[in-house]
Amino acid sequence: EAQAVVAKGATAALDLTAGFPETAPLLALPYCNIQLLPLTVPTVAQLREAVAFVHQHSSRGIVYVHGALGYSRSVGVISAYLGTVIGDE
């Protein structure tokens, strides 16, 4: 799956899992791991770090953001990022 993500154009990876090893194809990209447990709320500092990483790397290409379950951590971070982008307009 990670190879397919890179093949589709991912240029950076934000890993929001805690305790899971990342795959080599994603580690070869600019990479950030902010360890969040499933179904927990990130701290303000963690959220700021995640949004800053997405903001920095999205100007250069596609940022692949993932947790393990696919419906809370990644969605929350991208919602926060979009809030900053939309708020700037």
59-69 pLDDT, tens digit per residue, is: 999 999 998 87
Helices (H), 1-89: 2-7, 24-27, 44-58, 73-88
> What CA–CA distances, in Å, run from 71 to 9, 29, 68, 78, 89?
22, 23, 9, 11, 27
pLDDT tens digits, 37-80 = 888 889 999 999 999 999 999 999 999 999 887 678 898 899 99
pTM: 0.90
Euclidean distance between CA atoms 40 and 27, whole angstroms:
25
